[in-house]
Amino acid sequence: MTSQPVEDVCAVIWHNYMLVNDGGSEGDDRRNELYRFIRDLSACPEYDFDILQVAGAVYLKKLDEFGEDRDARRAGAEAAARSLKSRIGQADP
Protein backbone atom coordinates (compact mmCIF):
# COMPACT_ATOMS: atom_id res chain seq x y z
CA MET A 1 0.00 0.00 0.00
CA THR A 2 1.43 3.36 -0.97
CA SER A 3 1.79 6.26 1.40
CA GLN A 4 -1.44 8.07 0.39
CA PRO A 5 -3.74 5.13 1.23
CA VAL A 6 -1.91 4.74 4.55
CA GLU A 7 -2.50 8.45 5.20
CA ASP A 8 -6.17 8.01 4.30
CA VAL A 9 -6.66 5.04 6.62
CA CYS A 10 -4.90 6.86 9.45
CA ALA A 11 -6.98 9.99 8.90
CA VAL A 12 -10.23 8.02 9.19
CA ILE A 13 -9.07 6.11 12.26
CA TRP A 14 -7.77 9.24 13.98
CA HIS A 15 -10.92 11.22 13.18
CA ASN A 16 -13.09 8.51 14.74
CA TYR A 17 -10.74 8.22 17.71
CA MET A 18 -10.97 11.96 18.38
CA LEU A 19 -14.77 11.82 18.23
CA VAL A 20 -14.91 9.49 21.22
CA ASN A 21 -11.78 10.58 23.09
CA ASP A 22 -11.43 14.12 24.37
CA GLY A 23 -7.68 13.81 24.91
CA GLY A 24 -6.60 13.51 21.28
CA SER A 25 -5.22 16.26 19.07
CA GLU A 26 -3.77 16.48 15.57
CA GLY A 27 -0.20 16.74 16.92
CA ASP A 28 -0.57 13.87 19.40
CA ASP A 29 2.27 11.32 19.52
CA ARG A 30 -0.33 8.56 19.33
CA ARG A 31 -1.17 9.69 15.80
CA ASN A 32 2.45 9.23 14.75
CA GLU A 33 2.54 5.83 16.43
CA LEU A 34 -0.71 4.90 14.64
CA TYR A 35 0.81 5.90 11.30
CA ARG A 36 3.88 3.72 11.89
CA PHE A 37 1.69 0.79 12.94
CA ILE A 38 -0.60 1.06 9.90
CA ARG A 39 2.37 1.58 7.57
CA ASP A 40 4.02 -1.59 8.89
CA LEU A 41 0.80 -3.60 8.80
CA SER A 42 -0.05 -2.43 5.28
CA ALA A 43 2.96 -4.37 3.98
CA CYS A 44 0.66 -7.40 4.02
CA PRO A 45 -1.22 -7.11 0.69
CA GLU A 46 -4.26 -8.95 2.06
CA TYR A 47 -4.94 -6.15 4.53
CA ASP A 48 -7.21 -3.65 2.83
CA PHE A 49 -8.67 -0.36 4.03
CA ASP A 50 -11.41 -1.98 6.15
CA ILE A 51 -9.11 -4.43 7.88
CA LEU A 52 -6.57 -1.70 8.58
CA GLN A 53 -9.30 0.47 10.11
CA VAL A 54 -10.24 -2.30 12.53
CA ALA A 55 -6.60 -2.96 13.39
CA GLY A 56 -5.90 0.74 13.92
CA ALA A 57 -8.91 1.25 16.16
CA VAL A 58 -7.90 -1.72 18.31
CA TYR A 59 -4.31 -0.49 18.34
CA LEU A 60 -5.29 2.93 19.69
CA LYS A 61 -7.67 1.45 22.26
CA LYS A 62 -5.00 -0.91 23.56
CA LEU A 63 -2.35 1.80 23.46
CA ASP A 64 -4.56 3.83 25.79
CA GLU A 65 -5.15 0.80 28.03
CA PHE A 66 -1.64 -0.66 28.13
CA GLY A 67 0.49 2.39 27.46
CA GLU A 68 2.94 0.17 25.60
CA ASP A 69 3.37 0.14 21.85
CA ARG A 70 4.42 -3.50 21.73
CA ASP A 71 1.27 -4.81 23.41
CA ALA A 72 -0.96 -2.49 21.38
CA ARG A 73 0.73 -3.62 18.15
CA ARG A 74 0.12 -7.24 19.04
CA ALA A 75 -3.56 -6.59 19.77
CA GLY A 76 -4.00 -4.61 16.55
CA ALA A 77 -2.26 -7.24 14.44
CA GLU A 78 -4.40 -9.97 16.00
CA ALA A 79 -7.55 -7.97 15.20
CA ALA A 80 -6.41 -7.63 11.58
CA ALA A 81 -5.76 -11.36 11.33
CA ARG A 82 -9.19 -12.17 12.82
CA SER A 83 -10.87 -9.79 10.37
CA LEU A 84 -9.08 -11.39 7.44
CA LYS A 85 -9.88 -14.89 8.67
CA SER A 86 -13.53 -13.96 9.09
CA ARG A 87 -13.65 -12.52 5.58
CA ILE A 88 -12.04 -15.61 4.09
CA GLY A 89 -14.45 -17.82 6.02
CA GLN A 90 -17.41 -15.88 4.62
CA ALA A 91 -16.11 -16.31 1.07
CA ASP A 92 -16.10 -20.11 1.35
CA PRO A 93 -19.24 -21.83 0.00
Q: How many domains does the chain have?
A: 1
If you average pLDDT over every residue of the chain, what do you get?
88
CA distance 59 to 71: 9
Strand segments, DSSP code E, in the chain are none
pLDDT per position as a tens digit, 51-72: 999 999 999 999 999 889 999 9
* pLDDT exceeds cutoff 60 at 93: no
pTM of the model: 0.86
- Domain extent at residue 51: 3-91
Give long-range contacts, CB 8 A cutoff, 24+ apart: 18-27.
Answer: 21/64
